[in-house]
Amino acid sequence: MSQPPLLVLYGSQTGTAQDTAQRIARQAKRKRLQVQVLPLDNYNMANLISESLVVFVCATTGQGDPPDNMKNFWRFLFRKSLPVGSLSRLDCAVLGLGDSSYPKFNFVAKKLHKRLLQLGASALLPVGLADDQHDLGSDAVIDPWLASFWEKVLTLYSSLADVTPLREDEPLPPTYTFHFLDDVKEETGDRLRITTDQTVPSQSHPFPARLVSNRRVTDPSHFQDVRHIEFDITGSSIQFAAGDVVMMCPRNAPEDVEQFCQLLGLDPEGRFTLRPTDNTAVPARLPQPCSVRHLVESYLDIGAVPRRSFFEMLSTFSNNELEQEKLVEFSSAAGQSELHSYCNRPRRTALEVLADFPHTTAQLKVDYLLDLFPEIQPRSFSIASSLQAHPHRLQILVAVVRYKTKIHKPRRGLCSTWLASLDPAQGEVYVPLWVKKGTLKFPKDRDTPVIMVGPGTGVAPFRSAIQERIAEGKTANVLFFGCRSESRDFYFRSEWEEMMKAGHLTLFTAFSRDQEDKVYVQHRVKENAELLWDLIANKSACFYIAGNAKQMPASVSDALKEAFQQEGGMSADEAEQMFEAMERTGRLQSETWS
């Protein structure tokens, strides 16, 4: 049998599945296999019937949903009209990346595996179910799974055994080469490709929204800086409803960009064009020509905690024995707990790692930057306003992420720090953004009451919903809001008070630190069991939870089940069944983030 070209297709939401797909491709290149890596929605699905060897790597998002960059593929694959044996030529393998603390653990990978078999494909090995919760992370499953995958490929294609693979310590050729322009630095290129015409803004064509205001809404003495930020979206053709989210790509801090360029000896003002070394397309988000500053500031994720693949690649450039030894250890299966202590636990950034390995960093060739650093991923925020209440405006509520680890310099969230630094008083500021359908859906029926539990910034989507519902004459709105202190972080207080006066809102508050005993939203849910039971059992109310995914969602869910038992005279099992039935029919929805 001749040597197969390998196709690696991925569905990735945060970049982890993409990183794993690229790792498989690097292993294939070392075995001198022809390989192509693509997000599933960039692949022409009609060609699948003629492929011979495909690996699918996919994450599961939300409530068991496929990632955004495989949604079209997913719809296509589950068409009833696809003939049963249409993939009978295909040898494939499915690797899922998931987190077993979610109920639909690796749901997408399991379902994909089953569907490919239905269509006649042969699975080379059982579906791999990597779990973030494992002590060693996803690699505990990925490493052995990949070892058996390559064994199977070698038995299938015996000609591979005759090929001498590339040594592990040899750098692979880069995906792109940089061609620097030595012409006069004209003002071109670095403007993001943004649209102001009538196409709906998207990731490849975001809308430059003007920043109208950026206000701190927590008391100056409060430990956390939370911002209420407003954008002007006039002329954008952006539409959104309650529960939708806004997406934006953050930028690296100017001082980090400077340090990065210094460490690598790059001129931030240098301009270049990219040329792919194989059939890879140049990233759509990068203008051609592009400046080094734009690449580092807006594209390369230098402030993230690097993955194992970063150390693997870095080790191939090192000519310093001590540094190389450490990098090889960090990229080996045996060195993962060491890597965890060095990198993940203290949240050390890729930029800080480069500074820790100066000899290796000095050897880094610019051509490898796009292989070494992942692309900055878009961040999403619940929209906290309604177009009916605020036409042409879009508002968000952002907690600025800042915390201490054993590293002297405080850790900062990339997007929240960048947003907090934008000041409309210093001149016009534009933020490229686009909107995406959210998971929360609110009832159309005018008389259906809505019960919302949104402590902290979890209240954002509910502010949007309440504004929208009041504008539509829907006044059966119940909100449970919790925060630390009535005087320090009670967001939108005056608005809620006005709505209550007008009879449009019933509000229950829990201020956890304002008294000796801590009071949380779940306590208020328990105290109001009678009201909640009446609204749910007699008036078909819908129940929503939004906020931090630590203990709150589970505690609120337990409090609600207790209310069913107490007021509805149910057994624990019956309460559980009622809760699950509400989830199934969309009467109970949650949107939580970690």
Q: Is 17 annotated as a binding residue?
A: yes
104 is in an annotated binding site: yes
Mean pLDDT of 73-79: 93
- pLDDT, tens only, 284-305: 889 999 999 999 999 999 999 9
Q: How is domain 254-372 classified at the CATH fold level? A: NADPH-cytochrome p450 Reductase; Chain A, domain 3 (1.20.990)
Each residue's pLDDT tens digit, 238-263: 999 999 999 999 999 999 999 999 99
Q: Is 234 assigned to a binding site?
A: no
Superfamily name and number for 207-243+378-436:
Translation factors (2.40.30.10)
- In the 3-class helix/strand/coil scheme, how is 77-134 assigned residue by residue? HCCCCCCCCCCCCCEEEEEEEECCCCCCCCHHHHHHHHHHHHCCCEECCCCEEEECCC
Q: How many Å apart are CA 137 and CA 140, to the nearest integer?
A: 6
Q: Classify the C-alpha dihedral 14-17-22-27 as positive or negative.
A: positive
Decide: 281 and 37 in contact? Cβ < 8 Å.
no
SS3 150: helix
Tell whether residue 122 is among the known ligand binding residues.
no
User: Per-residue confidence at 187, pLDDT binned at 50, 70, 90?
Assistant: very low
Taking only the tens place, the pLDDT of each residue in 416-454 is 999 999 999 999 999 999 999 998 999 999 999 999 999
At 198, is the pLDDT very low, low, confident or very high (cuts 50, 70, 90)?
Answer: low
Q: With cut-offs at 50, 70 and 90, classify the pLDDT of residue 188.
A: very low
pLDDT at 3: 60
State the pLDDT at residue 189. Answer: 45
Q: Would you state the structure tokens that stand for residue 179, as one six-digit string?
A: 């061609």
Q: Is 97 annotated as a binding residue?
A: yes
> Does the annotation list 557 as a binding residue?
no
Q: Say whether 518 counts as a known binding-site residue.
A: yes
Mean pLDDT confidence for 510-535: 93
Summarize pLDDT for 8-67 with one digit per residue, the tens: 999 998 889 999 999 999 999 998 888 999 999 999 988 998 899 999 999 998 778 899
Fold of domain 450-592? Rossmann fold (3.40.50)
Q: What is the DSSP letter of 283?
A: P
User: So what's the architecture of 6-160 in CATH?
Assistant: 3-Layer(aba) Sandwich (3.40)
Q: Which two tokens stand for residue 521?
A: 């939203």
Q: Do domains 6-160 and 207-243+378-436 have the same CATH topology?
A: no
Residue 347 marked in a binding site: yes
Mean pLDDT, rounded, of the chain? 92
Residue 204 marked as a ligand binder: no
Please tell me whether 100 is known to bind a ligand: yes
Tokens of residue 155, six digits = 């038995």
Tell me if 12 is assigned to a ligand binding site.
yes
Q: Is there a binding annotation on residue 462?
A: no
222 neighbors 216 (Cβ within 8 angstroms): no
Annotated ligand binding at 594? The verdict is no
Q: Tell me whether residue 458 is annotated as binding.
A: no
Q: What is the pLDDT of residue 32?
A: 87
521 assigned ligand-binding residue: yes
Q: Is 361 annotated as a binding residue?
A: no
Residue range 306-364, pLDDT digits in tens: 999 999 999 999 999 999 999 999 998 889 889 999 999 999 999 999 999 999 999 99
Show me where the domains of the chain are located.
Answer: 6-160, 207-243+378-436, 254-372, 450-592
Is residue 134 over pLDDT 90? no
User: What residues pair up with 177 in beta bridges, in sequence order?
Assistant: 275
| Residue 505 annotated as part of some ligand binding site | no
Tokens 């409090």 belong to 559
What's the confidence (pLDDT) of residue 2?
54
pLDDT at residue 145 tops 60: yes
Q: Name 458's Cβ contacts closer than 8 Å, sequence gap at least 6.
A: 545, 546, 547, 548, 552, 592
Is 492 annotated for ligand binding? no
**Does the annotation list 440 as a binding residue?**
no
In b/e form, how buried is each residue of 351-384, taking b as 16+ CB within 10 angstroms? bbbbeebeebbeebebbbbbbbbbbbbbbbbbbb
Q: Binding site annotation covers 159?
A: no
So what's the pLDDT on residue 422? 96
